[in-house]
Amino acid sequence: MSRILVAMSGGVDSSVAAYLLKKAGHECIGVTMKLYENDTVAHTGHTCCSLDDIDDARMVSAKLGMDYFVYDFSERFEEEVIDKFVAYYEKGWTPNPCIDCNRYLKFEDLYTRARELDCDYIATGHYARIQYDEKLKRYALLKGPDEKKDQSYVLYSLSQEQLAHTLFPLGDLEKSEVRKIAEEAGLVNAKKHDSQDICFVPDGDYKGFLERRENKTYAEGNIVDEEGRILGRHKGAVGYTIGQRKGLGVAAGHPVYVLDKDMEKNQVVVGNKGSLKKKELDAVDFQWLSYPETDEMKVTARTRYHGAETPATLIDKKDGNITLIFDEPHGAIAKGQAVVCYDGDKVVGGGTIVASRG
């Protein structure tokens, strides 16, 4: 029997993770991270870590006979996640705050609390798997079997030490199975909707969030083609995403997509879909995970959460810098997003995209 800290968001996944561990005879402690003040977000009913979610997590913990605590990590979340989110958007990049939350909050700060509580492991409701590779003498992170729910992409920054003390009880399950277990166990949140990817912007209005938080309005500017010809006006460049097609409001006579954003000139650059495709990318802060660092390796790569995997060659430039050369040009690569590399189901590692080239 192990003593396990279970990170509980108030959703069905983490609740079933706790239920399965308790059923297996482990001693479990439920913990919810309070990440932001309740007035920070525009509520839609599909967020996580809100006051309602804390109530749900508390009720599930009580039903399972678990001690339960709420830790206020809002200051740390502000520094490591929200501040970075704002800074990235304002320089024209596309952040992935879920990766930063996992890296700095769930598997760093919460991991520290687990050790303070004499826990052997930390457990979450992520859809991913951990295996120990006897040949390499290191832990490997693998995809979950439910392709639509696989969360390995946002977990690439885990260290070997963290993998050794982390459990993913849902790793071999599909979402439909988890819902069924929750209903059979009589958990209060068995039919609860899944939360949005970005908990503090549940309505998906990133520009609105930025304007509220920074107390300013982002200026309108020109939408231009690749030659610099003005095609229309944008309503604030921070509100546009690389690869975006809908909502541009320009009449070019053919479909156009956001190719780039020039924040200094306050311009959004659009063009044909073919112009989105790039042959190479550079990434920094690359974390080697399931394999030790190597000079060159054939991989498949995702450049966005749940994006398609594309065959590529990973070239290690040392000191956390890598170049990825795709077998065939790959589309909609955004600076600030993560590139995560795979060898079959295994996560090779991941880093932050800083440049791409045709």
Going through 257-321 in order, the beta strands assigned E by DSSP cover 257-262, 267-271, 278-288, 296-302, 310-316
Provide the 3-class DSSP secondary structure of residue 4.
Answer: strand
User: Quick one: 323 exposed, middle or buried, by C-beta within 10 A (0-12, 13-18, 19+)?
Assistant: middle
User: What are the residue numbers of the active site?
Assistant: 101, 199
DSSP assignment of 51-75: HHHHHHHHHHHHHHT-EEEEEE-HH
Decide the pairing of beta strands 128-133 and 138-143: antiparallel
For residue 110, give the H/E element and its range. Answer: helix 110-116
For residues 262 and 335, is the Cβ–Cβ distance under 8 A? no
Tokens of 141: 């992170």
DSSP assigned state of 76: H
For residues 122 and 109, is the Cβ–Cβ distance under 8 A? no
Instruction: Report the alpha-carbon angle 149-340-48, nearest 5.
Output: 40
Residue 347's identity, in one-letter code, is: V
Residue 53's identity, in one-letter code, is: D
Contacts of 321 (CB under 8 A, 6+ apart): 282, 283, 284, 286
Closest CA to 18 of 57, 49, 54: 57
Contacts of 297 (CB under 8 A, 6+ apart): 291, 313, 314, 341, 343, 348
